[in-house]
Homo-oligomer: A and B are copies of this chain.
Amino acid sequence: MNAQGLYIGERSASALAEEFGTPLYVYDCASIARRVQQLREHMPPGLSLHYAIKANPMPELVRFLGERVDGMDVASAGELQTALDNGMAGADISFAGPGKRDEELALAIGTGVTLSVESPGELQRIADIGQRLGMQPRIALRINPAFRLKAAGMHMGGAASPFGIDEEQAPGVLQQVATLPVRLRGLHIYAGSQNLSAPHLVEAQNAIFELAFRLAGYFPDGIEWLNIGGGFGIPYFPGEQALDIAPIADNLDKRMAESESRLPGCEIVLELGRYLVGEAGVYLCRIIDRKVSRGRVYLVTDGGMHHHLAASGNFGQVLRKNFPLRVANHVDNPEKETVTVVGPLCTPLDLLGDRVELPKAGPGDLIAILQSGAYGYSASPLEFLSHPRPEQVLL
């Protein structure tokens, strides 16, 4: 950012809006590469880094990340196809999701993907489909742990859940596995998402390793693959601080040293989605109208909740908070105004910024929503009210 306005990578937001039109999602490769580099520098050298495609399945972005990570996690046959089409080998892909259809399981088995098994029923279906295909499915048991990640954006674990097999049921299911024609590779244990507290993440990761150590005895050939999930958050709202990964890296170093004896030969996988791409994305829209209603100033833009559901506060948020907003073409205008930024839809839900102080702006100016690289475009009701889709550009 400078006096000329917001820059995304080497390009000014104004020039990008001019070239590609608005509304527009811009993803900055350099930012993604820096994030991967930072993780590689801090994390233990043996740790595998996976990208969870669900955060952003744009093909060019998946290809870019595919050259920089050790594997990917997919959540549907569509995501699996995106990973394969963009250079990932099936052997480096894992597939989790509580409702995998038979044809999805068949595709995954046929391409050598590691399937995270979510229930005894799914385990049986995987074995049956493998037999029909004449192939041995590669599986990991996904565990619903008895603990939970404290202060996570979304909790996984510590309660009843549709995800994975309850920790208490795992020994019984592992005995069932031994009777089936599948290759049991290991465990997938995921405790929660969008967490900004290193101590909480350390505590959860320790619990994950402890659980894996306890369950190792049920693996006749040992655990060869352990996916410890991710859950690394990014700051969205005022008062939130970027996650400090140094203590997490230090702790993982210790756990991995311990694993060398307790889980010999086991690949440890850290699976990150939002953390890799969320901060690299900006959503740009243009102000169409400025109006005043009963003392409140509204900036009406050509972008809205149909493109960015999370920014409108309708993506699981209990209390709506404003994403970080900027007036992209003159971020430093000293004249400020408290405005409400809305989209073009005929619904009060189409709210991008509720009474936020911004440099004074009007029709033709650009609004940027930062932290929009994850769960933006693909997680939005793009066809709601039949507006055109935003472009997506990877810089």
Contact = CB atoms under 8 A, between A and B. Distances in A.
Given A101-B302, A295-B160, A384-B379, A346 B122 contact: no
A146 to B, nearest CB: 9
A42 interface: no
Contacts of A160: 293-296, 298, 340
A363 interface: yes
B378 A386 contact: yes
A121 interface: yes
A159 interface: yes
A54 interface: yes
A363 B119 CA distance: 13
A161 interface: yes
B315 A363 contact: no
Given A289-B99, A344-B98, A378 B384 contact: yes
Interface stretch (A1-9, A74-82, A200-208, A237-245): A74-82
Given A79-B386, A144-B293, A289-B122, A300 B378 contact: no
Report which residue of A96, A101, A144 has the largest number of chain B beta carbons within 10 angstroms of its beta carbon. A101
A7 to B, nearest CB: 26
Interface in A41-55: 53-54
**Binding site of A, secondary structure by majority: helix, strand, loop or mixed?**
loop
A279 to B, nearest CB: 20
A233 interface: no
Contacts of A322: none
A138 interface: no
Interface residues of A, number: 70
A324 to B, nearest CB: 21
Interface string A281-301: 000000011110111101011
Interface string A88-121: 0000000011111100000000000000001111
Copies in the complex: 2
B381 A301 contact: no
Interface string A107-150: 00000000000111110000000000000000000001000000
Contacts of A304: 99
A394 interface: no
Contacts of A156: 348
Contacts of A214: none
Contacts of A155: 348
A210 to B, nearest CB: 20
A162 B76 contact: no
A289 B304 CA distance: 36
A265 B43 CA distance: 76
Contacts of A348: 154-156, 161, 316
B98 A57 contact: no
24 contacts: A54-B385, A75-B385, A76-B387, A78-B385, A78-B387, A79-B385, A97-B346, A97-B385, A98-B342, A100-B288, A118-B289, A121-B290, A155-B348, A159-B294, A160-B295, A160-B340, A162-B293, A162-B300, A162-B340, A162-B342, A163-B346, A168-B294, A378-B381, A379-B381
Given A160-B296, A309-B314, 8 more contacts: A97-B344, A98-B289, A99-B343, A100-B288, A161-B294, A166-B293, A378-B381, A382-B383
Interface of A: 53-54, 57, 75-79, 81-82, 96-101, 118-122, 144, 154-156, 159-163, 166, 168, 288-291, 293-296, 298, 300-302, 304, 309, 314-316, 340, 342-349, 363, 378-388
